[in-house]
Chain A
Amino acid sequence: MKKTPPRLAPVLESLPTKQIQLLERRLFLKHSLSLGALALLTGCDVTDADAVQKVLWAMSKWNDRVQALLFNPSKLAPTYPESAIAKPFPFNAYYGEDEVIEVDPGGYKLALSGLIRDKKPWTLTELYALPQVSQVTRHVCVEGWSAIGKWTGVPFRHFLERVGADLSAKYVGFNCLDGYYTSIDMATALHPQTQLTFQFADRTLPAKYGFPMKLRMPTKLGFKNPKHIAEIFVTNQFPGGYWEDQGYNWFSGS
């Protein structure tokens, strides 16, 4: 039990909010079996925390499959009146709000790769010319809190069809300008409310909410919604994600 924790990867240095950061940083493996677990596992070989970890990861993978089965591609997330929009809408990232990156709109280009027919990069002007829709939906954070916001952008399905993405592929992955990365299942990518978002509350997406562009999915937890997207790729190889690789459930559907 008193094993020396492996050297934590640098990515662990940041967690969803500052508060949690203080509480939980460095505790990941060291305390992954704490008092409660010890009490529960009395009699078992508690030195083998790795075995417990393996079971938990396997269960998380199992829950990915269950959630994919539960996912109804045509079931819409509830929508709300604009009066319900949270003000101010919470900021959340794997770094603090003072570390939000500034992106130069003129130099920005969205890269496409993987199983996509037309991989030509997109400028912001070209992206803004796409047909756009708005949604007022609830953003649910993996931490538990939720907030209602208004997002405007192009339905992601429309964009994927436009660039000739292989819609039968398994995953869509995202690499972001702030170093974040994540990936989603194709069924969710094609959901009618999954949106490549350019505006929040009728204004150009502010830096803290992901300028110039984020992916908005009311059918997934907040951390699955990448901000500052630099590259979109379509693949059949499981791409994982920044938080997902550290133990957060990959599917994380709502």
Chain B
Amino acid sequence: MDSIPAAPPNATIHPLVVRICHWINVVAISIMVLSGWRIYDASPLFPFRFPPDLTLGGWLAGALQWHFAAMWLLVANGLAYVLYGVFSGHYRRSFFPLTWGAILHEFANLLHGRISHRLGVYNPLQKSAYLVVILLGIALVLSGLSIWKPVQLQELAALMGGYEGARRVHFFAMAGVVGFVVVHVVMVMLVPRTLVPMFTGHAPREGGK
């Protein structure tokens, strides 16, 4: 862990493409989740509803309009981000190497109240969280396509356990992403200086380490 060099002062922590994609994603995910909750409420899978005031769209048709408009933003932005991550080496540099041992070690640290964080270097838990949320995003898109087109894309829907299976995959992947967002935002509030580089790309001048 400590053999990984920390970012030198003023080095780019978040490349421009990542920053742009991140903030577009904030908008896209917010619209998708809030309108998705309203759509869920029209026919709940489980014995609860999301509070209508927390949802987007006003009624089912409005929520569907938001959902099926913002899906283009989400997918276009997600594709740009993943293609950039894969082909620029960003993922390779930021998320790997990653081993189960390192993840468990870091988790043990966390349980002892020790969180290793250096700007520009992800600890193994962060690496696995970012990888998992990317996979959840892919699962959301594929299950969403299966719900939207269970006939035209029936082969894909079959992989999701059919139309009804896809609804459940979609729900739990959403829950995973929302859980990620909650932890993500709490972490930023605990370590506020991590927020600055997501705007500027660089570490704040003071309090370098």
A72 at the binding interface (Cβ < 8 Å): yes
A134 at the binding interface (Cβ < 8 Å): no
Q: Which residues of A187-213 are within 8 A (CB) of B?
A: none
**CB-defined A-B contacts under 8 Å, sample of 17:** A28-B58, A34-B53, A34-B55, A34-B58, A36-B56, A37-B34, A37-B56, A40-B27, A56-B65, A56-B69, A59-B68, A78-B162, A138-B150, A141-B43, A143-B42, A144-B40, A247-B61
Q: Which residues of B17-50 are within 8 A (CB) of A?
A: 27, 30-31, 34-35, 39-43, 45
**Judging by beta carbons under 8 Å apart, are A70 and B62 in contact?**
no
In the complex, the 3 A-B pairs of residues with the closest C-beta atoms, listed nearest first: A247-B61, A144-B43, A59-B69
**Judging by beta carbons under 8 Å apart, are B64 and A248 in contact?**
yes
Q: Please, which residues of chain A bring their CB within 8 A of the CB of B52? A: 23, 27, 31, 34
Partner of B72, one of A23, A59, A145: A59
Q: Which residues of A145-196 are within 8 A (CB) of B?
A: 145-146
| Bound-state Cα–Cα, A3 to B165, Å | 41
**Judging by beta carbons under 8 Å apart, are A145 and B58 in contact?**
no
B120 at the binding interface (Cβ < 8 Å): no
Q: Please, which residues of chain A bring their CB within 8 A of the CB of B59? A: 15, 20, 24, 27-28, 31-32
Interface of A with B (CB < 8 Å)? Answer: 15-16, 20, 23-24, 27-37, 39-40, 55-57, 59-60, 63, 70-72, 75-78, 138, 140-146, 218-219, 243, 246-249, 253-254
Interface residues on B, range: 35 or more
Q: Please, which residues of chain B bring their CB within 8 A of the CB of A36? A: 30-31, 34-35, 54-56
Give A21 Cβ to nearest chain B Cβ, in Å.
Answer: 10
For the A-B complex, the count of residue pairs with Cβ-Cβ distances under 8 Å equals 120
Interface of B with A (CB < 8 Å)? Answer: 27, 30-31, 34-35, 39-43, 45, 52-62, 64-66, 68-69, 72, 149-152, 154, 162-164, 167
Knowing A35-B53, A40-B30, A59-B72, say if A78 contacts B154 (CB, 8 Å). Answer: yes
**Judging by beta carbons under 8 Å apart, are A60 and B60 in contact?**
no
| Bound-state Cα–Cα, A78 to B165, Å | 15
Give A188 Cβ to nearest chain B Cβ, in Å.
Answer: 11
| Bound-state Cα–Cα, A29 to B152, Å | 33
**Judging by beta carbons under 8 Å apart, are B43 and A254 in contact?**
no
Q: Please, which residues of chain B bring their CB within 8 A of the CB of A76? A: 151
